[in-house]
Structure 1
Amino acid sequence: MNTTAEPVGSDRPLIVFESGFMATMEHWTWISEELDGRESTVFYDRSGYGRSRHGHGRHRTPRPFTPRAVVSDLVDLVRHTRGERRVVLVGHAMGAGIVLRAAVELKDAVAGTVLLEPPAVTAPSGRHRIPAISPLFVGSMRIGCGDLLPRPSWAETLPSHNARLRDDQYRDARLWEAGKREAGVSADLGVHEALLASAPAPLTVVAHRDADLTGYSGLRHATLHVLDGFRPGRLLHAQRAAERAAATVSATAERVR
């Protein structure tokens, strides 16, 4: 977990960030650097990612990996870190569905939510599933084939000072094991109409201009920001787009303080 704090007595909310599928704290670097010194923030790695752990003896409980466990971890984190402050929850991609579910449980503790590149809205019974990761691929990573993976193109667009860490994480079998687990439950972490209806106001959505925003545009309590200058799905990795998203997050915190 990585946190930054404002001076004691600040009345601005705490901003907690939830990553997307197979993403670690390092994916937030452009946004983190833009908000540093201006906002109180929390970035963390979900179970199995980066410096976190999952499983008996390596995680706080031996419970099965479920959608409920993913949301519960975020709820517990917020309750542990917020003190008396309210929070703004920010979720990227699959993280959008996680923060919306956490907001329902945290209730009045949530001052607002920001969804960055959220998935298309489905009906309550709809399914938005992430493609599965082959067990054979995960097995090959466990025996040391990670070093054969080329550096992903998105890694070149992030700051160079943590490039070695990003490379090591990407080639770590645990990252792919966590991704395999999450792919199996992703259908239950999507965004549906009933979930959006229960989201606390204000709700802010930031997405690519080519994204399907049909389910968000009709919400009275939602504000949409459409950006370009980056490839769809790569908002966090394009510096200028990420900085504009950070400005939107900061404006939300200012609005609700």
Structure 2
Amino acid sequence: MGTETRLPATAAGSTFAAVLLGAGRQIARRRRVLTGRGDEKFLTTGSGNRISFRVNTTTEPKGSDRPLIVFESGFMATMEHWTWISEALDGKESTVFYDRGGYGRSRHGRGRYRTPRPLTPHTVVSDLVDLVRHTRGERRVVLVGHAMGAGIVLRAAAELEDAVAGTVLLEPPAVTAPSGGPRTPAVSPLFVGSMRAGCGDLLPRPSWAGALPEHGARLRDDQYRDARLWEAGRREADVSADLGVHETLLACAPTPLTVVAHRDADLTGYSGLRPAAPHVLDGFRPGRLLHVRPAAERAAAIVSATVERVAATVSATVSTTGERVR
């Protein structure tokens, strides 16, 4: 065989081997993502999605009178992104963290073969509503939403009504008109296809990776390079414009309503909130509140203070009327 014949054959063989290696690594990565930490619980929601979540219960005696805190992540984020806040609240508050359908161990689709269903804003919100009803028992809840999650928790609060004792919005999007907000940039189907083919290893390390705790770094990296996370992101980008925050939602939100944002954020639509003005923080890049430990711990303290206000209100109601608010 001549040189001219061997070179293309060698190149083709190397490319094929690289594709097989990448696909093999993608399969192994997906297996680790589906294994998770091992402490997740599962709920099949009314939409057919199988949601993974973690419940952390306070060990403090006063914990039984305090509301449950349920956290909603932003776009293409998993519950691993809440690590600093989770650790700051561990043993002090009862918390629930979860992954939306397609992220982490959560599955998108119905039935044995996970038949895909069209994603709608209602689907996203109803999964959170189902999770709250499944986990809260007799307790009221404080809903905490980060970034895109702010719009989700406000819509869930409207459905859950009196079960919600308060809401906290972390780095919420700018307030828009009720007709819809800006759409999140779409994730290319070609990009998702390349991820399925095993190109996850080629992604650069995300800028936030080194700011989160070292423990759990392997799982976070696997999730980031997992094709199904990007598939979930592509679905959510299509409905993101209908998950924004607008004045009507804010007007109907249960109080206390607390907003925490970067000093440079556009807080025009939130500045008139009562009884408290938004909390403005610095020491982190916009969009990275959860990833910088000091900022995340300050946010956790604000969340805990909101819970304290709610618990005090409940105690005052009980002492006055003898009836507990549900």
Q: TM-score, normalised by structure 1?
A: 0.97
Corresponding position of 1:154: 208
Corresponding position of 1:67: 121
Corresponding position of 1:95: 149
Aligned partners of 1:200, 1:59: CA distance in 2, in Å?
39
The match for 1:173 among 227, 247, 261 is: 227
| TM-aligned CA distance change 1:60 to 1:143, over 3 Å | closer
Give how far 1:72 is off.
0.1
Aligned partners of 1:80, 1:216: CA distance in 2, in Å?
31
Corresponding position of 1:133: 187
1:37 counterpart = 2:101: no
Deviations 1:101-134 (A, max 9, x none): 0000000000000000000001112422111111
Larger mean CA deviation between 76-85 and 218-227 belongs to 218-227
Aligned partners of 1:161, 1:190: CA distance in 2, in Å?
33
Corresponding position of 2:107: 53
Corresponding position of 1:21: 75
What RMSD, in angstroms, separates the aligned Cα atoms of the two structures? 1.5
CA contact (8 A) 1:67 1:189 kept: yes
Equivalences, count: 257
Aligned partners of 2:231, 2:82: CA distance in 1, in Å?
21
Corresponding position of 1:83: 137
Larger mean CA deviation between 142-151 and 246-255 belongs to 142-151
Corresponding position of 2:268: 214
Deviations 1:157-211 (A, max 9, x none): 0000000000100000000000000000000000011111110010000000000
The match for 2:247 among 178, 185, 193 is: 193
The match for 1:230 among 264, 276, 284 is: 284
CA contact (8 A) 2:58 2:90 kept: no
Q: SS of 1:123's equivalent?
A: coil
Please tell me whether Structure 1 or Structure 2 has the larger radius of gyration of its CA atoms: 2
Gaps of 5+ in 2: 1-52, 312-326
Q: SS of 1:111's equivalent?
A: strand
Gaps of 5+ in 1: none
Give how far 1:63 is off.
3.9
2:287 maps to amino acid? G
Aligned partners of 1:147, 1:63: CA distance in 2, in Å?
29
Q: Which runs of 4+ in 1 moved over 6 A?
A: none
1:6 counterpart = 2:96: no
CA contact (8 A) 2:173 2:245 kept: yes
Aligned partners of 2:112, 2:287: CA distance in 1, in Å?
31
| TM-aligned CA distance change 1:202 to 1:58, over 3 Å | farther
2:168 maps to amino acid? V
Q: SS of 2:278's equivalent?
A: strand
| TM-aligned CA distance change 1:39 to 1:58, over 3 Å | farther
Aligned partners of 1:12, 1:231: CA distance in 2, in Å?
32
Aligned partners of 2:189, 2:248: CA distance in 1, in Å?
34
Give how far 1:153 is off.
1.2
The share of aligned pairs that are identical, in percent, is 84
Aligned partners of 1:75, 1:147: CA distance in 2, in Å?
36
